[in-house]
Amino acid sequence: MGYHHQHRHAQQQHGSNSKGQTQRRKNKNEQHGTRKSCEELFMQAEIALMSEDLAQAEALYKECVLREPENVEFLDGYGSFLAEFANDRKDEAIKVLQKACDLAPMTGFEKFMYLGQVLDACGRTEEAEAAMRQGVGILRNMDDENSEEYLTSALCSLAELLMGLIHDALDEAEDDSEEEVSRLYIEVESLLHEAGSGTSKNPEPLQALCSLRVLQGREEEALGLLKESLQLWWDDDDEEDGNGDEKKGESMLPSYEFRFETAKLLLELDDSTATAADILEGLLEENDAVPDVWLLLAVAYKAGGELESAAEAATQGAKIARLQGYSEQDNEVVYALEELEKELTSK
């Protein structure tokens, strides 16, 4: 859409004499060439991202934005990339995504959801909530058969943000927070009911409702909901036949972050640690460079009485964190890994 708008705008700026027509054709051709080149670069960036060549993808996305700084598609792509893969550049991600949102406030839900995600990570909760609500509003107004799954995920993301507000309010335990907590509880229930009514195959609403029940102190009900959610994507026989991913299909697996949260909830709610450990081992097969996963796996092994495996997981996690430049002084996960490592290797 950006090129066609520029093309129409250029036509309106020139006169009707022959010199103007010649200049008009020249400008038109220059614009067409630049636009085509940027489109090709953007497509190459998308291909690089799918191929997990993150350095190449970033360079290409950035080049597109430098060439066409008002192009919403390019801003959206680059900002979403930063939000997803550049945790140390949150301010830049916010700036890029905010510009995209300002340029197209009524279309394109993803940029609002990514913006909300990064704002929330920066502690800017009110702005995050506003961005996510806008993204949800866009999805609700879409007349598209493919939008249902996106709406389900967006509703769950907003519900999770609001649950964070509930958690903070409960910690503060102020007299005037009780009414706000009640209001938030009602809205979260409503959001998750809407999310769950649209699909029977997406595990997100059930797991989010599990988290809500944990907040409410209803652990038994929470575990039931978590197990119901697990049935939609996890096969208990995975380890026995070694063919779990093939049976369920990799495309049906929830996101890395979702599965990590599943394991956390299982360790909190379930007496058995086996499923949590299996899920975490699967995550490390996909990406073994995440210290948080190594820490949780070490905790799962320790809780299950597998102390040698726990020590190995803690040692490996601490090693990876140090290679990434983290230390126990500036990272609580590294501190926890190193303390666990010391505890388990000293026995």
> What percentage of the chain has pLDDT greater than the value 90?
69
Q: What is the pLDDT of residues 35-90, one digit of tens each?
A: 558 999 999 999 999 999 999 999 999 999 999 999 999 999 999 999 999 988 99
Select the more confidently predicted residue: 159 or 34.
Answer: 159
> 102: number of CA atoms within 13 Å, CB side?
8
Task: Give the 3-state secondary structure of residue 125.
Answer: helix
- Segment 295-316 shows an average pLDDT of 96
Among 1-5, 64-68, 160-164, the range scoring the smallest mean pLDDT is 1-5
- Please name the amino acid found at residue 9: H
Is there a contact between 76 and 108 (Cβ–Cβ < 8 Å)? yes
Amino acid at 314: A
Count of positions (residues) in the chain? 347
Q: Using alpha carbons, list the distances in angstroms from residue 329 to 123, 332, 338.
A: 21, 8, 11
Q: What is the mean pLDDT of residues 251-269?
A: 93
Average pLDDT over residues 229-248: 64
CA angle 150, 152, 154 (to 5 degrees): 70
- When pLDDT is averaged across residues 166-192 and rounded to a whole number, the result is 87
Mean pLDDT of the chain: 85
Q: What does the pLDDT look like over 108-160, one tens digit per residue?
A: 999 999 999 999 999 999 999 999 999 999 999 998 877 888 999 999 999 99
CA distance 139 to 225: 26
Query: pLDDT tens, 315-328?
Result: 999 999 988 887 77
Say how far apart CA 226 and CA 124 lie, in whole Å.
29
